[in-house]
Chains A and B, each alone.
Chain A
Amino acid sequence: MSKSQIDPRGPRFGAAITSVLLLIDVYLSLDPKTFSTAVSLLSIIVTLFAIGAFFGNSKHPYGYIFKRLVRPLLAAPKELEDSRPPQFAQLVGLLVAGIGLILGIAGIPLGLTIAAAAAFFAAFLNAVFNYCLGCQIWLGLARTGLIKA
C-alpha cells in the first residue's frame, strides 16, 4: 500500500455514498423482478471498491468529487491522515461485496443480500460513527495469519 496523506473527511464522504448505494442494492435484491438490477449495481460498487483498494482514495471518483466539490466548502482539516487505513477498508469492502456478487451471479440471491447488508453495515458505521475497520479487524486477521504485515 502506498503511503500518502489525505483529508480524513474524504473517505467518510465516500463511505456515506457507498452505504446509500448498498442499502438500495439490498432493497433491489429482495425482489426477483429487480434482482438483475441489484447484480448490476453491485458490480459497479465492486468496481469502485477495487479502485479504492488498489489505487487509493485520491484516484477514486468519490475522492475526486470530494476534492472538487465538497472540500472547497469546508474549513481546512485539523490534521491529515495516513491513506492506508481507508485503503484497507476498501479492500475489505471489495472482498465482501465481491463474494456477494459471485454468489448473486451463481444464482444464490440470499448470498448477495447478506453480503451487501454486511458491507452496508461497515460503510454506514464508518460514515456515521467514524468506525475504522482497519483499527478493529486488521490486527486480528494478521494474528491468525490470514494477512501478512
Chain B
Amino acid sequence: MPSDLKLAAIVGLLALATLAGLIWRATTGRAKRIKSGLQIDLKEIGAIKNGLPVTKFGEHTTFLQFSSETCATCKQTARLFDELEKTSNGVLHIEVDLTHRLDLADKFGILQTPTTLVLDSKGIVKSRIGGAPKPSTIEEEIGHFVI
C-alpha cells in the first residue's frame, strides 16, 4: 500500500474515533421520558441505604441508580446524587448493584451502568438516564417534580 494511502487510513481512523467519542459524549447522560407508568417495588429491588432497607420513596423525587462492579463512572454519579440529596429537599438517592442481580437488569432492560430511573413520590418511573448524568440533566429532572 502506498504510504500516503496508509497515512490516509490512519487519519481516517483517528477522525472516526473522535467523531464516535463526540457523539457518545453528546448523547450519554440524557434523560428520556418514560410513560409506561411502571411502579418500582422497593422490596423487589432490594434497595439498601446505610445498611437499612429502603421503605419509602423521596417526597418529591427518587433517583434509583443501577451500578455494577466494573463501572468506573458509577461512583462519580453516586457522589453527585448524594450531594444533591443533602442540598435538595425531598430528594432520595438509592443505588442498586446489578452485578449479582442480573434479573433486575433483564426486567428493566438495562445494558449499561450507571442507568438511573427517576421516580416520582409514588415510585412511578418518570424518566430514565443512560450513562453518567450531566448536572444540567439532573437539574431539569428535579425541576419537573419540585415546583
| CB of B100 closer than 8 Å to a CB of A | yes
CA A22 to CA B55, docked complex, whole Å: 50
Chain B: interface secondary structure? helix
Are A135 and B13 in contact (CB-based, < 8 A)?
no
A124 vs B19: C-alpha distance in the bound complex, in angstroms? 12
Return chain B residues, CB-CB under 8 Å to A149: 69, 99-100, 102
Are A136 and B112 within 8 A (Cβ)? yes
Q: Is the interface of A mostly helix, strand, loop or mixed?
A: helix
Which residue of chain B is the closest to A130 with respect to CB atoms? Answer: B73
Answer yes or no: B110 CB below 8 A from chain A CBs: yes
Please indicate the chain B residues that have their CB under 8 angstroms from the CB of A121 in the complex.
Answer: 13, 16-17, 20
Tell me whether A79 and B79 are in contact (CB under 8 A): yes
Contact B10 A125 (CB under 8 A): no
Whether a CB of chain B sits under 8 angstroms from the CB of A17 is no
How near does chain A come to B91, taking the closest CB pair, in angstroms? Answer: 21
B21 touching A139, Cβ below 8 Å = no
Residue in B6, B70, B102 whose beta carbon sits within 8 Å of that of A84 in the complex: B70
Complex Cα spacing A81 to B73, Å? 9
User: Please, which residue of chain A has its CB at the minimum distance from the CB of B71?
Assistant: A135
Size bracket of the B interface = 35 or more
A142 touches B112 (CB 8 A): no
- Indicate with 1 or 0, residue by residue over A108-149, a CB within 8 angstroms of chain B CB atoms: 000000000100110011001111101111111011000001
Range of interface residues on A (Cβ < 8 Å): 20 to 34
- Residues in A with CB closer than 8 Å to B21 are 124-125, 128-129, 131
Cross-chain contact B17 with A124 (CB below 8 angstroms): yes
Assess whether B113 is interfacial by the CB under 8 Å rule: yes
CA gap between A129 and B10 in the complex, in Å: 19
Contact bitstring A14-28, B, C-beta under 8 A = 1, else 0:
000000000100110
* Contacting residues, chain A, for B111 (C-beta < 8 A): 139-140, 143
Decide: A26 and B13 in contact? CB cutoff 8 A. yes
Interfacial residues of chain B within 76-101, with CB under 8 A of chain A in the complex: 76, 79, 98-100
> CB of A105 within 8 A of chain B?
no
Taking Cβ atoms with an 8 Å cutoff, the residues of A that contact B are 1, 8, 23, 26-27, 30-31, 79, 81-82, 84-86, 88, 117, 120-121, 124-125, 128-132, 134-140, 142-143, 149
B residues at A contact (CB < 8 Å): 1, 3, 6-7, 9-10, 13-14, 16-18, 20-22, 24-25, 68-76, 79, 98-100, 102, 105-106, 110-114, 131
14 intermolecular pairs with C-beta atoms under 8 Å apart: A79-B75, A81-B72, A85-B69, A85-B72, A121-B16, A124-B21, A125-B20, A128-B21, A135-B113, A138-B113, A139-B98, A139-B113, A142-B99, A143-B102
